[in-house]
Amino acid sequence: MRAHWSTLVILSLIVLLVAAIGALGNPVVQRVVTDMLIKLVVVLGLSIFIGNSGVLSFGHASFAALGAYGAAWFTMPIVAKKLFLPKLPAFVLATQYGLTAGATIGIVFASTLALIVGIAVVRLSGIAASIATLAWLVIINTILANADSLTKGSSSLVGLPLDVGAGTAAICALIALAVAFFFKYSPIGLMLEASREDEAAALAAGIAVHRLRLVAFVLSGAVVALGGVLQGHFLGMLSVGQFYLEFTFLTLAMLVIGGMRSISGAVMGTLLIATVGELLRVGAGGGTVGGIAIPPMPGMREIALALIMLFVLRARPSGLMGGHELALPSRLASPK
């Protein structure tokens, strides 16, 4: 399958369109769009590993958490750090960097840990690899939730600079899109895809499946970490629970519902689930319809979201895009 440039162009235009809606809309729309674009960064990150290798990972939320906290240690104002995290190492307490430098530190930190656990994960295949990532997620969650001096433990860490808006999120989403696209059509991506379809045949053809999976794992961990950094600096607060099973579930659902075998699937799944989720939030928040007061119903939004997911899966078991990419019809397009 050859890279199809129109796919990258179409998806970039979709991202820009979403960002434009955010830029023109009121503050509420703006926040919704920013949140959606951040989720898109995360889901594209997931697709780099899961989509190409076919191995499900439950562990990537940990990289979002590690990236977010890693960046926050350096971007928080020194005063806020001394107040909330007085036990940080002295050199961290004394420094304050901007978002770019902080994000770089967070991403490097998360990727290093991704490399370490990745070495273990890629040696396993199928469900054993998935369970190892799940175990990793629990490990990191337990450590972060109890490392009071680094994370404030089970209470929230506040005071992160609010540096991320729709613009920053859109730029990062475009970067993530480009990374995912170029990786997928790189020799490494194509060889991984071969191993996804038939691992034994790929090995027999001389493809170093484990090593390539490790590359994908670290790269996807880095992109997901970027998503975590963005989320922290968008909300201005971090809590360990923010990056646990619900985060894992929602982002994986976006990927699978869109169709995990294509980048277009990751994008469309994210946009669909995020949009539906927001619309439902409005619905479940209560209010008055036609003069009748409707009380807020906690849980209603999640119930409806789950039902919609089940219906989509039922109608399209291999995802909305079914493994296809959005592309212009062209004589140059190679048939799949």
Interatomic CA distance for residues 39 and 229, integer angstroms: 12
As given in the structure block, the two tokens for residue 174 are 């475009």
Q: Which residues of 30-47 are buried (b: 16+ CB within 10 A; e: fewer)?
A: bbbbbbbbbbbbbbbbbb
Burial of 17 (0-12, 13-18, 19+ CB in 10 A): exposed
Does residue 299 interact with another protein by CB under 8 A? yes
Q: Near another protein by CB under 8 A, which window of 29-37, 105-113, 131-139, 215-223?
A: 131-139
Q: Give the H or E element holding residue 61.
A: helix 60-75
Q: Which residue has the tokens 């209010």?
A: 287
Contact indicator for 253, 26 with CB cutoff of 8 Å: no
Q: Any contact of residue 282 with another protein (CB under 8 A)?
A: no
Interface pick for another protein out of 13, 24, 143, 294 (rule CB under 8 A): 143
**Partners of 237 in the beta sheet?**
158
SS3 content of the chain, % helix, strand, coil (to 5): 70, 5, 25
The neighbouring-strand residues paired with 287 are 294
Kindly state whether residue 200 participates in binding another protein, applying the rule CB under 8 A.
yes
Binds another protein (CB under 8 A): choice among 3, 88, 134, 175: 134
Tell me the two tokens of residue 281: 């939030």
Task: Draw the binding track, 216-255, toward another protein (x: CB under 8 A; -: no contact).
Answer: -----------------------------x---x--xx--
Q: Looking at 79, 306, 328, 332, which residue binds another protein (CB under 8 A)?
A: 306
Nearest to another protein of 78, 303 (CB atom): 303
Is 78 or 127 the residue whose CB approaches another protein more closely? Answer: 127
Please pick, from the candidates 80, 124, 237, 272, the single residue that binds another protein as defined by CB under 8 A: 124
* DSSP string across 10-47: HHHHHHHHHHHHHHHS-HHHHHHHHHHHHHHHHHHHHH
Site map for another protein, 73-102, x if CB under 8 A? ------------------------------
User: Which one among 10, 93, 158, 300 touches another protein, defined by CB under 8 A?
Assistant: 300
- Residue 36 near residue 17 (C-beta atoms within 8 A): no
CB of 244 to another protein, least distance (A): 10
Residues 6-45 that bind another protein (CB under 8 A): none
Sites of contact with another protein (CB under 8 A):
50, 56, 117, 120, 123-125, 127-128, 130-132, 134-136, 138-139, 142-143, 146, 200, 245, 249, 252-253, 256-257, 260, 297-300, 302-303, 305-307, 309-310, 313-314, 317-319
